[in-house]
Amino acid sequence: MIYLIYIILGLAPSVIWLLFFLRKDVHPESNRMIITVFLLAIVIVPFVALAECMPVGLGSQEARCALSPFLKNSFPAPWGSIFSIFLGVVLIEEVAKYLVVRLKVLRSSEFDEPLDAMLYMIIAALGFAAIENILILFQPVQETFLFKRLLSIQEASVIISFRFIGATFLHALCSGTIGYFLARSLFRPSQKGILLFVGFFLATLLHGLFNIFIMKIGDSIIIENNRLIIADPELFNLSIFGLIVILTSLAIFVTLGFQNLKKLASICKIKQCS
């Protein structure tokens, strides 16, 4: 029973955000395509994990990327660590989500307005985040040297609450950013390469910075007698501020992107403008 609760908790943030973003589509997509893209993003996670060589607990601080040793040995500190985060983890994830949309949606007859590019990128991101959340909840906690246990329901609920307003939302916003530039590229075929580059660059940069700030928060906290203590308040506050700035900036950009693409949708359909 507890496993079912973990699965429901892991899916909940993605489902809630999915319902929120679907309301922005004036011409609703078919449930079949929405579910297909969501599930394909879940299916692609093991391949992403293989590319990153991550253990169960995708996105956790303990995860190690396959490219990390190579990048860390190829570049002096701190550039090796930075490249391993941005190129060995974040970029792989953003490309994987994009490939789901590119392979399944872009050639579909249901892809008929600019807004669809952002919407389906967000759907793919939420599917990806859903399985990521579930894997994190199923990751054992080291209680003693010999004993590991699963998270309690209370602990799992706290983690999911933070991921709802944090990592899950971030995945949706970063993919939505790529989706916006993908939509713009449909009207500027000669600039498609540069537009997609800008989209991936912004998404990867902000996603990577988000991950770094999360790690810095972990570095600023210690546990004593089962209590969390902020050992470095300055680093903690700076990291929290950084997370807020990233999420707020992305949320504003995606909101304005939706509004801009709605105006384009009133002018022409994809097939008419391509």
User: Tens digit of pLDDT for each residue in 48-74?
Assistant: 887 776 443 334 444 444 555 566 667
What is the CB neighbour count within 10 angstroms for residue 38?
A: 22
What would the two tokens of residue 40 be?
A: 């394909």
Helix, strand, coil distribution of the chain in percent, nearest 5: 75, 5, 20
**Alpha-carbon gap, residue 54 to 41, rounded angstroms:** 17
Q: Between 190 and 178, where is the model more confident? A: 178
Digit-coded pLDDT (tens) for 122-137 = 999 999 999 999 999 9
DSSP 53-89: T--SSTT-TT---TTHHHHHHHS-TTHHHHHHHIIII
Return the minimum-mean-pLDDT range out of 16-30, 176-190, 255-269. 255-269
Q: Please report, as a single letter, which amino acid is at residue 240.
A: I
Q: Total domain count for the chain?
A: 1
Integer CA distances (angstroms), 114 to 36, 136, 174, 273, in order: 20, 34, 17, 10
The token duo for 214 is 């999360």
Domain span at 76: 2-273
Can you give the pTM of this predicted structure? Answer: 0.88
Each residue's pLDDT tens digit, 104-115: 999 888 888 889
